[in-house]
């Protein structure tokens, strides 16, 4: 499969940034709804707005840099910045939504999709490893901080399940966008 050109990757990074602006808007609306229905304490509302502000600032900086700098290595670094940002955001959201009981675990699909834009199997599976480790840390930290909200077996089986799902998703993304479909397919 041909490698991505600088122009192709630059276009992808700019589009990824635009999607991140939409994600920031969606997360902001969810904070407003949760706050208006008093589903989260006020001190947690502020923490979520801080994280959302960081998301908006970093996304803006990456978007601006992607438009101005036409260097392949820099474009790859910008994709890496989004991956790190997305893993951090997902980890925070999982912890903020009660660890293993969190609905925000779906946010870990975002860094995997961003990594797929590089068309690199190594980047994709490294992101799955990092996402699994970050999910594990967020869940275990919440479990230690609030030890009466679940059982150890529930904690570790949930971590194993979602960790496996991250790798399944990485594999499916690799098949969809990264693998060369013109070569012979191996039969099992």
The pLDDT value recorded for residue 188 is 46
Q: Calculate ∠ Cα 67-73-79, nearest 5°.
A: 65
Report the distance separating Cα 170 and Cα 120, nearest Å: 11
Helices 6-36 and 72-96, axial angle in degrees (round to 10): 20
Tokens 């930290």 identify what position?
141
| pLDDT for the residue 57 | 98
State the pTM of this model. Answer: 0.93
Average pLDDT over residues 112-128: 97
> Domain segments of the chain: what residues?
6-178
For residue range 157-169, what is the model confidence (pLDDT) as tens digits? 999 999 999 999 9
What's the token pair of residue 154?
């529930």
* Distance (Å) of CA 9 to CA 64, 79, 111: 14, 9, 16
> Structure tokens of 33?
């709804």
The SS3 of residue 172 is helix
> Rounded to 5 degrees, what are φ and ψ at 152?
-60, -40
pLDDT one-digit tens code per residue, 89-112: 999 999 999 999 999 999 999 999
Does position 142 have pLDDT exceeding 70, yes or no? Answer: yes
């Amino acid at each position: 499969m041909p490698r991505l050109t600088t122009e192709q990757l630059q276009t992808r990074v700019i589009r990824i940034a635009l999607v991140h602006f939409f994600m920031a808007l969606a997360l902001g609306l969810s904070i407003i709804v949760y706050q208006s229905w008093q589903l989260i304490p006020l001190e947690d509302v502020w923490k979520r707005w801080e994280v959302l502000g960081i998301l908006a600032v970093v996304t803006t900086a990456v978007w601006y840099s992607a438009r101005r700098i036409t260097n392949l290595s820099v474009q790859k670094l910008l994709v890496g910045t989004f991956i790190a940002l997305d893993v951090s955001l997902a980890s925070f959201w999982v912890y903020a939504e009660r660890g293993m009981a969190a609905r925000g675990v779906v946010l870990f699909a975002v860094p995997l999709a961003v990594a797929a834009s590089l068309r690199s199997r190594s980047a994709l599976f490294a992101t799955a490893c990092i996402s699994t480790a970050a999910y594990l840390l967020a869940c275990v930290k919440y479990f230690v901080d609030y030890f009466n909200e679940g059982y150890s077996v529930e904690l570790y089986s949930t971590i194993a399940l979602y960790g496996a799902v991250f790798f399944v998703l990485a594999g499916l993304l690799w098949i969809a966008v990264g693998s060369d479909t013109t070569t012979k397919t191996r039969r099992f």
